[in-house]
Amino acid sequence: MTKAITLAISLIAIPASADWQINMNEGVTALSREIFDLHMLIFWICVVIGVAVFGVMFYSIFKFRKSKGAVSEHWHENTTVEVVWTVIPSIILIAMAIPATATLMDMYDTSEADVEIQVTGYQWKWRYQYLDEDIDFFSNLATSREEITNEAAKNPNYLLEVDNPLVIPVNKKVRFLITSNDVIHSWWVPNFAVKKDAIPGFVNESWVKVEEPGVYRGQCTELCGKEHGFMPVVVEVKAEADYEQWVADQKAMKLAMAGEASKEFSMDELIAQGEGVYNMSCAGCHQPNGQGIPGAFPAITGSTIATGEMDKHIDIIVNGKSGTAMQAFKEQLSAVDIAAVVTYQRNAFGNSMGDFIQPSAIQK
Amino acid sequence: MREWIRAFVGVFFAFLGVQSEADRRYDFEKGRFSVFAVAGLILTFVFLSIVYGLVQLALIYVQ
Ligand SMILES: [Cu+2]
């Protein structure tokens, strides 16, 4: 019955949302539509109550206005009326709680998942670990610095694009275990009706079963520092076979990368690759020009570490420095990337150490 | 007996947050604290049972 009513109501609401939308998303999962229906049902209950209460109020104000000679009553209490206006709202609240509880129970039922993925928030990127497969990667913002600084036109997915999207299969129950490595973040994909805080030391759970392949976008939705607006979520939902292929590719890539690490690189190759790594993973703090931000992030230009002993330089990147925003990059970057960014920092931004390091020499 | 019934009615309306001034005055002047305390405990238990029952009802609705 309530389903039929909300369906009818949401049909009326659709044409209005064609061009611009102020209502919440209906989303692309059975659960997100259930949440949407619940939201519409309760919204219309509120509208009816609002119209009734304010209707009576405005009517009374107008009808019994002073200029018409209205004189106010002076009675103190009326137990019957008071009981009525206490009991009716209680009944309405309880009636609304019943479907709401049903939906909540569904949202919290993370049992019998087909795929399990740990989602970890970092300043300022997401890490996805597939618990049943040996897949583990970071998802960084892919929007170019030029677009951010208004030096290039902004593309339609501005700040909503990443290098490695999360990939999940269609029509499978995917369970997310959401946590954080540093501060509180929040993983939000509006079309999935999933929005869960990522809290260090805690694991929050959520799940999704998407019915249509496609690309769905979201954002970090808990203020988490300087680049909070620059750590979007992109989820690619693939058909079953495509997903299997992606998993196989992912594993092949991992093998290939292990092979890469034992190759010999020239200094120029390392610097070229290092520039890309730096802009993607370091420039947010140390700045694209390597000057850092005084008082917060040290400059790389003339840094005693970046122009000092090679081992110390590698160490601060691999292991980070605890208690500071300088995080350990050993999980995030391959040996090749670390060798490349070290070499780049030593030979760019005015530094000219002239030395370089091979990936095979990086101890993680 | 009448005293107990009055106490229960008084506590019940306190739960609801509604009470006439005359009844309130009567309760405070004629009522005994111990009777109200017992009535309060019993009605608290009843209230909890109702909440528990409603939750169970909602859970049935889920299945
Ligand atoms: Cu964040």
Note whether B17 contacts A: Cβ–Cβ < 8 A: yes
Q: Chain B partners of A106 at a C-beta cutoff of 8 Å?
A: 62
More confident residue, A76 or B38: B38
Q: What are the distances in angstroms from CA A77 to CA A81, A327, B19? A: 9, 66, 9
The residue type of A68 is: K
Residue A58: pLDDT above 70? yes
- CATH class of the structural domain A115-259: mainly beta
Q: What is the pLDDT of residue A184?
A: 96
Section A150-173 average pLDDT:
93
Note whether B58 contacts A: Cβ–Cβ < 8 A: yes
Which CATH code is given to the segment(s) A30-107? Answer: 1.10.287.90
Tens digits of residue pLDDT in A218-256 = 999 999 998 999 999 999 999 999 999 999 999 888 888
Tens digits of residue pLDDT in A90-112 = 899 988 888 888 888 889 999 89
Mean predicted lDDT score pLDDT of chain A: 89
Q: In terms of CA atoms, which chain B residue is nearest residue A107?
A: B62
Range of the domain at B34: 2-62
What is the maximal distance between C-alpha atoms in chain B? 51
Model-level ipTM above the cut of 0.85: no
Tens digits of residue pLDDT in B41-61 = 999 999 999 989 988 877 776
8 Å CB contact between A184 and A224: yes
The beta strands (E) that lie in chain A are given as 115-122, 125-130, 135-139, 166-169, 174-180, 185-189, 194-198, 204-208, 214-220, 233-238
Section B21-47 average pLDDT:
91
pLDDT bin (cut points 50, 70, 90) of residue A364 is low
Dihedral sign from CA coordinates of A298, A300, A302, A305 = positive
Q: What is the pLDDT of residue A98?
A: 81
Q: Residue A252 half-sphere exposure, CB side, CA atoms within 13 Å?
A: 6
Q: What is the pLDDT of residue A63?
A: 93
Phi then psi for A89, rounded to 5 degrees?
-60, -35
8 Å CB contact between A195 and A187: yes
Whether B58 sits inside 8 A of A106 (CB atoms) is no
Coil vs helix vs strand at A126: strand
Q: Find all residues with CB under 8 Å of A142, minimum gap 6, and list them.
A: A161, A162, A163
8 Å CB contact between A354 and A329: no
Q: What is the pLDDT of residue A17?
A: 45
Note whether A322 contacts B: Cβ–Cβ < 8 A: no
Tens digits of residue pLDDT in A189-210 = 999 999 999 999 999 999 999 9
Q: What are the distances in angstroms from CA A257 to CA A335, A337, A359? A: 9, 10, 11
Whether B62 sits inside 8 A of A79 (CB atoms) is no
Q: What would the DSSP string read from start to end of A227-273?
A: TGGG--EEEEEE-HHHHHHHHHHHHHHHHHHHHHTTS---HHHHHHH
Q: What are the distances in angstroms from CA B16 to CA A84, A160, A252? A: 10, 51, 67
Q: Chain B partners of A82 at a C-beta cutoff of 8 Å?
A: 18
Whether A101 sits inside 8 A of B20 (CB atoms) is no
Q: CATH 1.10.760.10: does it fit domain A263-361?
A: yes
Q: What are the distances in angstroms from CA A90 to CA A20, A94, A158, A239, B56? A: 36, 6, 47, 47, 18
More confident residue, A16 or A224: A224
Note whether A102 contacts B: Cβ–Cβ < 8 A: yes
**Of A115, A241, A233, whose CA–CA distance to A163 is shortest?**
A233
Tens digits of residue pLDDT in A287-296 = 999 999 998 8
What is the 3-state secondary structure of A8-22? HHHHHHHHHCCCCCC
Residue A16: pLDDT above 80? no
Distance from CA of B60 to the nearest CA of A (A): 9
- Percent of chain A residues past pLDDT 70, beyond the cut: 95
Predicted TM-score (pTM) of this structure? 0.73
Neighbour count for residue B11 (Cβ, 10 Å): 21
Q: Residue A128 half-sphere exposure, CB side, CA atoms within 13 Å?
A: 24
Number of domains in chain B: 1
Q: What is the pLDDT of residue A289?
A: 92
Question: Strands A214-220 and A135-139: what pairing?
Answer: unpaired
Residue A68: pLDDT above 80? yes
8 Å CB contact between A363 and A342: no
8 Å CB contact between A37 and A7: yes
Residue A14: pLDDT above 60? no
Section A133-162 average pLDDT:
90
Note whether B57 contacts A: Cβ–Cβ < 8 A: yes
Q: Find all residues with CB under 8 Å of A50, minimum gap 6, and list them.
A: none
Place of tokens 């993680």: A364
Whether B17 sits inside 8 A of A86 (CB atoms) is yes
Q: Where are the domains of chain A?
A: 30-107, 115-259, 263-361
Whether B57 sits inside 8 A of A99 (CB atoms) is no
Tens digits of residue pLDDT in A286-343 = 999 999 999 889 999 989 999 989 999 999 999 999 888 898 898 888 889 999 999 9
8 Å CB contact between A127 and A120: yes
The residue type of A154 is: K
